[in-house]
Structures are given as C-alpha cells and as structure tokens.
C-alpha cells in the first residue's frame, strides 16, 4: 500500500508547528480527471471534449475512457494546457456480480506503461487487484464513484495502490443522486486509510441527439466537479506531484485559497461561503456560519489525527480540502 505523506511542516520562531498540504510557492491549475469520449461510451470525440474544457478555463484534463488507454500529447500546449494520460479500469467482483469497481489509472510521467489505444479486459477480480499492484508505481490510481458502485468502506480499505478517491462525481449526482462519496471517505479516514479526495465530472455528454451541442442543456453532465492543484510547474509531472502529495482541493464551485493547522486552530481561507465545516476523527463536526464568510478559524481539541474542511456557498456547492494528517 502506497502511504500518503504527512502534512508539510514549517517552523516559526515562538510559535507552534504549522501543518498544511499546499506547497509554499506554486501555481493554481484547474482540471478534471474523469471524462469520456467516443473511444468508449461518451458521445463526443476527444478533440471536441478537449476544446470544450479549454473554452471554460480548464488547464488540464484526463480522457478516462473505459478500459482503453489514451494519451493525446498533441493537445498539450506549453503553459496553457496539459493532458493527463490514462483510462478507467473495470474490476469485477466475483462475490457480488452486480458490483463493478472502477479505478482511474493515470500516468505519472511521459513514459507510459501502456500503448496508445491499448485495451483491457480483466474479468477475474484477482487479476484486477494484481493489475493495480503492478502499476501503482508508475501511475496514480483513483477509486471512482464508490456510492454509485454500491461499495462499502470495508470493500475499499485494503485495495492495493489506491491513493485517492472521488468524493464528488458530478454525473452520478446530477443524473442519479449517487455522486456524494464524502461519507465513505470519512469512514475510510477514520479507519486509518489515508486517501486524498477529488471531485470530477465523469461526463458522457449523452444528449447530442438534441439540437446543438449538449453543454448548454439542463442535462449536461460536464463542468460540475473539478480539482485545483497548487503545483510547482505547469507540466504533467508538476500536476501529478501535486495530486500525489495532496496539494490541491476538490470543488463544485467554491475556492479554497489556504488551509492549515497552527497554534491549535484549523484555519481556512476561501471564496464567499455561508458554511465552513471542519471534521476529523475526534468528535462531532465543528462549524462557522455566516454570510460571505471568507475565513474560518476553528479551535481543535488537540487529540485529532486528521482534520479536513468543507466550504459551502449560498447555492449549496461545496469545496473539499484534503485531510491534514497530524
């Protein structure tokens, strides 16, 4: 099992240690890591999907089609847009045939484990778990939509190589009300499994039979869940390192500008919100309420082993910090 690092620490004279996941100096980059095209069950071709995300200000994207690896380096543009090579792997469950686990496999660098358009068919569950073990070194493994997949925390906790999971899947929530995975995330964190949390679209754009492109329609399943990394560089390696180390937040809309623990307080700075809710492994949720809150300072009990924060705006949209492990 790949172990996630403890929060970064910085020491100030005359003060307690400061804990944070965000790197000190970096650039903020917005992206989506779960999207489908006509290479699998999506309705739009790769070039149209990439153009749509670029037009809406996204700076990186993974075309995570089912069981087929794609890279598309021709869509990269220096200091403007980065493609993250990868695919969504299906792992079957022999004990519960109705359950199929979906895991994103995303390359850490430009040296890939797979060939462009290489396809995968792994019906045996043990072979699927072995695949994860064998490819965890060179790829980030992200568990997708556990609630939609009807997975419980005890079916996830021992999965090999998984370092992050979706805590919000926009298509599952928008179309089926099955996209909120924060409960499973908290259960795993409290049981000691360290995982970073991501928000994604899982978009399929399945309404192209209607006049025009689907992006303006109420059924649109794009642009509802994303992450914002604080990266050392505007490169695939810089983005992957930020994901690997938790230097990012997940969101449906609100922004998190900073989140740290210092002097016995959890401090979050964000775009205007109405609720800031802090949770961890000790006791009930602690919260700050108000209108246009842009900062929250919440005292800790002192025995927490991790804390995380959710910032909720007036529309009910949520931004999720990653847990700070103390």
DSSP string across 72-98: -GGG-BTTTBEE--EEEEEEE-SSSTT
pLDDT attached to residue 209: 58
Q: Residues 202, 169: contact at Cβ < 8 Å?
A: yes
Inform me whether the pLDDT recorded for 30 exceeds 60.
yes
Q: What is the pLDDT of residues 34-49, one digit of tens each?
A: 999 999 999 899 999 9
Calculate ∠ Cα 246-315-59, nearest 5°.
40
Inform me whether the pLDDT recorded for 229 exceeds 50.
yes
Nearest to 62 by CA among 262, 195, 226: 226
Q: What is the pLDDT of residues 108-128, one digit of tens each?
A: 998 999 999 999 988 788 899
Q: How many helices (H) and strands (E) does the chain have?
A: 6, 18
In this prediction, residues 163-173 reach a mean pLDDT of 97
On the CB side of 281, how many CA atoms lie within 13 Å of its CA?
A: 17
Domains and CATH numbers, the chain: 18-252 (3.20.20.140), 254-326 (2.60.40.10)
157 burial type by CB count under 10 A (0-12 exposed, 13-18 middle, 19+ buried): middle
pLDDT attached to residue 8: 65
Distances (CA, A) of 55 to 58, 253, 264: 7, 17, 43
Q: What is the pLDDT of residues 252-278, one digit of tens each?
A: 999 999 999 999 999 999 999 999 999
State the pLDDT confidence band at 66, using cuts at 50, 70 and 90.
very high
The tokens describing 68, both together, are 């087929």
In this prediction, residues 156-164 reach a mean pLDDT of 94
The tokens describing 148, both together, are 């939609």
State the pLDDT confidence band at 284, using cuts at 50, 70 and 90.
low
pLDDT attached to residue 211: 56
Q: What is the pLDDT of residues 184-214, one digit of tens each?
A: 999 999 999 999 999 999 999 876 555 556 6
300: Cβ contacts below 8 Å, ≥ 6 apart: 261, 264, 265, 266, 280, 307
pLDDT attached to residue 13: 32
SS3 310: strand
Instruction: Please tell me the pTM assigned to this model.
Output: 0.93
Share of the chain above pLDDT 90, in %: 74
- Higher pLDDT among residues 1 and 69, named by residue: 69
Nearest to 262 by CA among 224, 291, 297, 225: 297
In this prediction, residues 65-71 reach a mean pLDDT of 98
In this prediction, residues 160-182 reach a mean pLDDT of 95
Q: What is the pLDDT of residues 70-103, one digit of tens each?
A: 999 999 999 999 999 999 999 977 667 678 899 9
| Residue 298 bridge partners (DSSP) | 266
Q: Residues 69, 87: contact at Cβ < 8 Å?
A: yes
State the pLDDT confidence band at 16, using cuts at 50, 70 and 90.
low
Q: Where are the alpha helices (DSSP H) in 109-266?
A: 125-135, 153-156, 170-176, 182-190, 236-245
40 burial type by CB count under 10 A (0-12 exposed, 13-18 middle, 19+ buried): middle
pLDDT attached to residue 283: 52
In angstroms, rounded to a whole number, what is the distance separating the alpha carbons of residues 81 and 216? 23
pLDDT attached to residue 11: 38
How many angstroms from the chain centroid is the CA of residue 121? 25
- Higher pLDDT among residues 235 and 303, named by residue: 235
Q: What is the mean pLDDT of the chain?
A: 90
């Amino acid at each position: 099992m790949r172990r996630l690092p403890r929060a970064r620490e910085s020491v100030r004279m005359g003060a307690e240690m400061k804990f944070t996941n965000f790197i000190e100096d970096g650039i903020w980059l917005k992206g989506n890591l779960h999207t489908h095209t006509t290479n699998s069950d999506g309705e739009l071709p790769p070039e149209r999907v990439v153009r749509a995300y670029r037009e809406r200000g996204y700076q990186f994207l993974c075309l995570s089609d089912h069981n087929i690896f794609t890279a598309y380096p021709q869509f990269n543009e220096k200091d403007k847009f980065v493609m993250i090579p990868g695919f969504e792997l299906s792992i079957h469950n022999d004990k519960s045939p109705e359950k199929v686990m979906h895991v994103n496999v995303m390359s850490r660098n430009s040296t890939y484990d797979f060939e462009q358009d290489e396809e995968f068919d792994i019906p045996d569950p043990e072979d699927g778990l072995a695949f994860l073990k064998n490819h965890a070194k060179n790829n980030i493994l992200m568990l997708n939509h556990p609630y939609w997949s009807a997975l419980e925390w005890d079916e996830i906790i021992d999965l090999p190589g998984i370092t992050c999971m979706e805590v919000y899947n926009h298509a599952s929530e928008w179309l089926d009300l099955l996209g909120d995975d924060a409960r499973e995330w908290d259960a795993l964190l409290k049981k000691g499994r360290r995982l970073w949390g991501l928000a994604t679209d899982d978009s399929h754009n399945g309404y192209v039979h209607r006049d025009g492109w689907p992006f303006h329609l109420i059924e649109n399943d794009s642009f509802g869940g994303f992450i914002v990394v604080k990266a050392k560089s505007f490169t695939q390696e810089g983005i992957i390192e930020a994901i690997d180390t938790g230097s990012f937040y997940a969101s449906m809309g609100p922004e998190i500008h900073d989140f740290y623990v210092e002097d016995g307080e959890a401090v979050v700075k964000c775009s205007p919100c109405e609720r800031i809710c802090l949770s961890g492994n000790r006791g009930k949720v602690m919260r700050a309420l108000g209108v246009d809150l842009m900062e929250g300072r919440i005292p800790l009990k002192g025995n927490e082993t991790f804390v995380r924060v959710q910032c909720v705006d007036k529309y009910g949209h949520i931004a999720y910090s990653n847990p700070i492990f103390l």
